[in-house]
Structure 1
Amino acid sequence: MKEKLRLLLGLLLLIIGPAHGLCPVWTPARAASEITRLQQQLQRWDDAYYRAGENQVSDADYDSLLQRLTIWRRCFSAAQPAYAPQLPANGKVDHPVAHTGVKKLRDKLELAYWMQDRQDLWVQPKIDGVAVTLVYEAGRLTSLISRGDGLRGESWLAKAAWIPAIPLKISSHAPRVVLQGELFLKMTDHQQSRDGGKNARPQVAGALMSQTPGPLLAQIGLFIWGWPDGPAAMEARLQQLAVWGFGLAQQWSQPVSDEEAVAAWRDRWFNAALPFVTDGVVVHQAARPPGKAWRPGEGDWAVAWKFSPPDVTSEVRSVEFNVGRTGNIAVVLNLQPVQLDDKTVRRVSLGSLRRWRSWDVIAGDQVAISLAGQGIPRLERVLWRVGERHYPLPPDPERFTPLSCLSFTPQCRQQLLARLSWLSQKSVLDIAGVQRSTWLRLLDTGRLDHLFSWLTLTPEQIALASGISPTRAQQLWHRFNLTRRQPLRRWIYALGIPLPRGALNALPDATWQEIQQREPQYWQALPGVGAVLARRIHAMLQDASIQKLMLFLRQQGIPESLSAQDGDS
């Protein structure tokens, strides 16, 4: 009982919790406009898919945007019925048994909740193809009907003779046998994890909708997943289907007792060599009502658990501009948190302002995120842009350079904080245990006037910072003072002078006055320094703000000894 309650609670959190947190702050008028725009786009995709067999958007992206529409409608118009695909209603042939479709479950927790208290369950690959009804009367194929709206579809009987996988006769004397299945493009050693969808389903749909038979029809296979009024026992059903020539169902059906077994088969089929394209698994309950009771969208005796896409979708909550140590402005998207593999992704970097403008992404847009090398989140594409676009104002790039923000002003907070954080690194001044959060607390005290003000802080002044105890303050003061022993080359690097590591290691001991007086030719003679960089280094050392900081360091007696060795450079 406790396990059932746990599963129910988890499912409620999945359904209710996220929707509450995803409601955008929109006026009713804007909400109505945005909902209408997205709904119209879904309808256009539905029309292209169901009428023309064109797959203009991936299933994962479609499902994500459909979920987003559902959330928006709950937020602003809860009384409205849920959106349903606009299936073609111009079919000319009635299905003797309606196509119910299968509900898609999001994860193993939802599957476990659905499986509890159900018996005689079977898992099959979810074939990525085109659903059809086959009708045999006295053993002879009399109808091949497209899914259509689940109640009526188009007759494709003329194409059956060109598809060897469809038996035109079966050894049955029953007045009528109704089967439901999937026409799919045959594959050889198709590995879903490696090969993806291969555009297989649109090819099948196109071949079936074509006015004239084409060579692709011979490459179409058939997987029967439904015999509405067949034997009650799944084993008997599968055995008889195999006798009639529909052996794939028996070959690719496995009994399962819990969600772990389903997950194991799902993982196995995702990575195995298969004769068809798949996009997940379907779990069937052997017991189901008689065919006359089937209705579109009401089949609760089978569910689908699709494969995880290589990326996940999220909504952009805000656009953030971060000024880095050298004045470069990086754009970061703050996202509605999503799970990607074992990572919770809340932010993704876009890089420069130019890239942000080329992506044209703002708060409210729906984006797809993947993990690049070393698990770094990466923006893959923008799925949907809100209609009403309010662009945040980025910082002026002209105000931030490698020489700006060496002293504190409110506008310089980000860049100075980035400079301070960089100072702590082992390769710079090696201030152990001092993180960005530490510098942020010290900045908030108002006692850091410039890049090296921390050298003059007393333990008592450091302890004034929020969250820093007197003991911790004493440790920080000691570590700050240890930097005085660092050699001159480290302090030149700490100033932000862009010397390559080889040039730093080759830099001889000198005084601050000598460093200021050296001409570009001197810098160019160092390893890794060309003419352009040499002139840049020389210009930076002549800058008034840099000279002011060098004077401060001289007054502080830094470095303590010109003979100090930079042992870990």
Structure 2
Amino acid sequence: MWKCVLLWLVSFAALAECPAWSAGQLRQETGRLAQKIALWDRAYHQQGESQISDALYDRLSERLARWRRCAGEPPRDERRLPGRGNREHPVAHTGVAKLRDVMALTAWMRDKGALWVQPKVDGVAVTLVYRGGRFEQAISRGDGLQGEDWTEKARLIPAIPQHVPAPLADSVLQGEIFLKRDGHIQGRDGGMNARATVAGAMMRKKPQSDIYRRLGLFIWAWPDGPVRMQEQLEILAGAGFTLTRDWSEPVSDATQVVRLRDRWLNQPLPFVTDGIVIRSERVPPSAAWRPGQGSWIAAWKYPPQLQVASVKKVLFQTGRTGRVAVVLALEPVMLGDKRVTRVNIGSVKRWRQLDVGPGDLISLSLAGLGIPRLDEVAWRAVCQTDASPLPNEGGTLDCFRDTAVCREQFLARLIWLGQRQALDITGLGPSGWRQLLQTHRFEHPFSWLALSPQALRLTPGFSPQRAAALWHRFNLTRRMPLPRWIKALGLPLPEQASLSLAEVRWPQLMSWNELEWRRLPGVGAVRARALMDFIHHPDVMMIVDWLTRQGVEAFADMSKAVNGTNDYSETPATPTESAVPAGGR
């Protein structure tokens, strides 16, 4: 079952804007997603249980925020955070502005004075209060004004000093409690769900000493501290907050920022990060700090390694062997540095298992070689409709003729036989084969061999030079060895076995029994019977007869080995300029 088709208006600059829904549909989908996120939040805040990965939660929260903007609702902070609590922060958490790209970075840096860059450590924010040199209180970020009292658990974290020297004796510090990592490479390892792990440890009612030993602390703000950043860093390091000094770098231009961002994405770090933070030394007094108003600090996040995209359409692609592959056409999304508009999900069986259709949201990541991969169906549309009909699934011995039912598989056969590992017909890709097929009557996948230079010149989009070059390439295939033609025919033979047939003639193959086929490497009983069925199939025998009369050397002397009439009625053409076009129209 598919869901009801939900069309989207896509603006790539904003990576998909508002869905083309009625106001009622928008309210319904927004409400459903908001309720689901609220359930995840309750489990996260009250039990310290993460029912969804940090990355997927963030992407779905961004989607909810977009839908709310489309509905005209005021903006909210959708990122899940520990509960609001009832402990007032002595200094508000401002949050950070988000920068989109280098242009936004350059504009933000203008007139900011001395600037520093730090990794954006991915954990949970906290306020630490010291009085008389002793650790007094820890408060979760909450809404930036009030949070939960984490003092009891914070005392169990070895990374939080219980005593600090005079310069910090009466101070308020803001920072990030994070999961310590050994040689974490963000570009390779991703987020590891570290934020949820930390939040769960801090919010469970029963303390767990094992996890606290694995937590670290990165101080990123000392409200009302020394004006010069370098002085702050040295004092913090002297009190035991060494990471801040070790991972803070002065910068003077955007080029340096870009270099640091790239370096920290790809070098080993002691924590998980999701970007960088740029901060100015010019900071207002802490009494003026307000949530959402930290104009002296900004973040430039890394491209997400997981993305959520809306399915626009389900496409079916038939290959040369008749197997149907399913491809999802998507709204455009950026995944890393790639613009992704479709994802191959494999077989029809897997598509049915996923039960994914237009309007659903899917989560994507990059597999090996940067290929987009569907990880899961992240959100399903409300309505369901019947699935569109599937194309017929053929087999290796189907679709040697160009019919309406077989058009896709027939075209896939043409594209395959032109590949380098088959007949190596350079200068002719899928669109070229399609054009030939639309212009000329192909009775079987090798009808192009009978096309004359004149017929090729009459093909729309084929210049005289291209037509002459292709005719030359077509003609060369007549002298190619049998293993190449075996591949072009689609004989289901393993590569190693194919290479071992270099000295064998086609009439010999036709006379082989099962035992003789099984002597080839990689050929067992089932494969041997399939090979015999293929070679003696009427369509294959007639094609080979036709190729023999076309002068294909790999099938020479076949006239005595093949019986029956030739249903392929094209007139044989000799490879000369005066050859008659075969079925041109």
TM-score (norm 1): 0.82
Deviation (angstroms), 1:423: 1.6
For residues 520 and 194 of structure 2, the distance between their equivalents in structure 1, rounded to whole angstroms, comes to: 60
Q: Which deviations, in whole Å up to 9, do the C-alpha atoms of 1:89-122 show, x marking residues without a partner?
A: 6622212222122234344443333223322111
Distance 1:413 1:528 in 2: 32
CA distance in 2 between partners of 1:239 and 1:83 (Å):
37
Among 82, 105, 108, the alignment partner of 2:75 is 82
Shift in CA distance, 16/529, structure 1 to aligned 2, threshold 3 Å? closer
CA distance in 2, matches of 1:300, 1:56: 34
C-alpha offsets along residues 113-159 of structure 1, whole Å, 9 cap, x if unaligned? 32233221111222333322233445554432222222212223344
Structure 1: gaps of 5 or more residues:
1-14, 565-569
Aligned length: 546
Partner of 1:67: 62
Alignment match of 1:362 (pick from 329, 340, 357)? 357
Counterpart for residue 325 of structure 2? 330
Is the Cα–Cα contact under 8 Å of residues 278 and 299 in structure 2 kept in the other structure?
yes
1:468 aligns with 2:462: yes
Residues 423-444 of structure 1: CA deviation (Å, up to 9, x unaligned) = 2134433333222221111112
Shift in alpha-carbon separation, 1:541–1:95, aligned structure 2, 3 A? same
Displacement after TM superposition at 1:167 (Å): 4.5
Worse-matched range after superposition: 128-137 or 368-377: 368-377
Where do 5+ consecutive residues of structure 2 fail to align?
A: 1-9, 559-585
Contact 1:317–1:333 (CA under 8 A) maintained in structure 2:
yes
Query: 1:444 touches 1:465 (CA, 8 Å); kept in 2?
Result: no
Is the deviation greater in 402-411 or in 47-56?
47-56
* 1:57 and 2:52 aligned: yes
CA RMSD of aligned residues (A): 3.6
Cα distance between partner residues in 2 of 1:171 and 1:558: 90
Amino acid at match of 1:498: P
Cα shift readout 1:483-533 (whole Å, capped 9, x = no counterpart):
333456654543323234535643766576x76566545544555543322
The partner residue of 1:440 within 434, 440, 447 is 434
More deviation in 428-437 or 51-60?
51-60
1:414 aligns with 2:418: no
Return closer, same or farther for 1:143/1:390 CA change in 2, 3 Å cut-off: same
Would you say the 8 A contact 1:362–1:390 is kept in 2? no
Contact 1:283–1:304 at 8 Å: present in 2 too?
yes
Do 1:507 and 1:526's aligned partners in 2 also have CA atoms closer than 8 Å? no
Q: Which stretch has the larger CA shift, 321-330 or 131-140?
A: 131-140
User: Contact 2:47–2:200 (CA<8 Å) still a contact in 1?
Assistant: yes
Aligned pairs for 1:80-159 within 5 A: 80-85=73-78, 91-137=85-131, 139-159=133-153
2:390 to 388, 395, 401: 395
Distance in 2, matches of 1:130 and 1:511, equals 71
In structure 2, the CA distance between the partners of 1:45 and 1:213, relative to structure 1 (3 Å rule), is: closer
**Post-superposition offset of 1:417:** 0.7
> Retained in 1: the 8 A contact 2:97–2:298?
yes
State the match for 2:423 in structure 1.
429
Say whether residues 1:45 and 2:46 are aligned partners.
no
Aligned to 1:480: 474
What TM-score, normalized to structure 2?
A: 0.80
Matches within 5 A, 1:317-356: 317-340=312-335, 343-356=338-351
What is the alpha-carbon distance in structure 2 between the residues aligned to residue 218 and residue 537 of structure 1?
63
CA contact (8 A) 2:224 2:286 kept: yes
Q: What is the SS of the residue equivalent to 2:30?
A: helix
Assess if the C-alpha contact under 8 Å between 2:54 and 2:195 holds in 1.
no
Shift of 1:349: 2.2
| Contact kept in structure 2, 1:19 and 1:71, CA below 8 Å | no
Contact 2:124 / 2:195 at 8 angstroms: preserved in 1? yes
Q: Which moved more, 1:264-273 or 1:355-364?
A: 264-273
| Partner residue in 2 for 1:499 | 493
Structure 2 partner of 1:6: none
CA distance in 2, matches of 1:49, 1:258: 40
Partner of 1:451: 445
Instruction: Report the alpha carbon displacement of residue 54 of structure 1 after superposing the two structures with TM.
Output: 3.5
Shift of 1:176: 5.9
Offset at residue 160 of structure 1 (A): 4.8
Paired residue secondary structure (1:444): helix
Counterpart AA for 2:329: N
Residue type of the partner of 2:457?
A
Cα distance in structure 2, aligned partners of 1:503 and 1:202: 54
Question: Structure 2 vs 1, CA of residues 183 and 554 (structure 1 numbering), >3 Å: closer, same or farther?
Answer: closer
Which has the higher mean CA deviation after the structures are superposed, 522-531 or 145-154? 522-531
AA aligned opposite 1:352: S
1:354 CA displacement: 1.4
Question: Structure 1 residues 461, 28: CA separation in 2 closer, same or farther (over 3 Å shift)?
Answer: farther
**1:203-226 deviation digits (Å, cap 9, x = unpaired):** 443443344554244554433222
Q: 1:324: how far off?
A: 0.7
Are the aligned partners of 1:421 and 1:435 in contact in 2 as well (CA < 8 Å)? yes
Relative to 1, partners in 2 of residues 1:511 and 1:179: Cα closer, same or farther, differing over 3 Å? closer
Counterpart residue type for residue 288 of structure 1: V
Question: Structure 1 301/44 Cα, relative in aligned 2: closer, same or farther at 3 Å?
Answer: farther
Please give the secondary structure, in 2, of the residue aligned with 1:455. Answer: helix
Cα distance, 1:386 vs. partner?
Answer: 3.0
Which of 273, 278, 283 does residue 283 from structure 1 map onto? 278
> 2:530 maps to which residue?
536
- Taking a change above 3 Å as real, the CA distance of residues 544 and 215 of structure 1, as seen in their structure-2 partners, is same
* CA deviations over 1:431-459 (Å, ceiling 9, x no partner): 33222221111112152232222233333
| 1:4 corresponds to | none
What is the DSSP-based 3-state SS (H/G/I as helix, E as strand, rest coil) of the residue aligned with 1:358?
helix
Q: Which amino acid aligns with 1:231?
A: P
Taking structure 1 as reference, are residues 563 and 370 closer, same or farther at Cα in structure 2, changes over 3 Å only? farther
- 1:425, 1:438 → 2: CA distance? 13
More helix by share: 1
Distance in 2 of aligned mates of 1:159 and 1:494 = 69
* Mapping 1:558-569, distance limit 5 Å: 558-559=552-553, 562=556
Percent identity, aligned pairs only, is: 49
Q: 1:35 maps to what in 2?
A: 30
The corresponding residue for 1:548 is: 542
Tell me the equivalent position of 2:583.
none
162-171 or 378-387, which deviates more: 162-171
1:180-214 Cα deviation digits (max 9, x unpaired):
22233455555555665555544443443344554
Among residues 290, 301, 305, which one is paired with 1:306 in the alignment?
A: 301
- Residue 264 (structure 1) aligned with residue 259 (structure 2): yes
- Equivalence for 1:378: 373
What is the identity, as a one-letter code, of the residue corresponding to 2:56?
D
Where do 1:156-305 residues align within 5 Å? 156-168=150-162, 170=164, 177-187=171-181, 192=186, 197=191, 200-211=194-205, 213-216=207-210, 217=212, 220-242=215-237, 244-305=239-300
Q: Deviations over 1:15-41 (max 9, x none)?
A: 974337554444444333222222333
State how far apart, in whole Å, the 1-side matches of 2:477 and 2:246 are.
71
For 1:404, give the aligned amino acid.
D
Return closer, same or farther for 1:153/1:456 CA change in 2, 3 Å cut-off.
same
CA distance in 2: counterparts of 1:256 and 1:281, whole angstroms = 13
The answer to whether the 8 A contact 1:98-1:296 is kept is yes
Whether contact under 8 Å (2:83, 2:148) holds in the other structure is no
Letter in 1 for 2:451: L
Amino acid at match of 1:294: W
Contact 1:487 1:562 in 2 (8 A): no
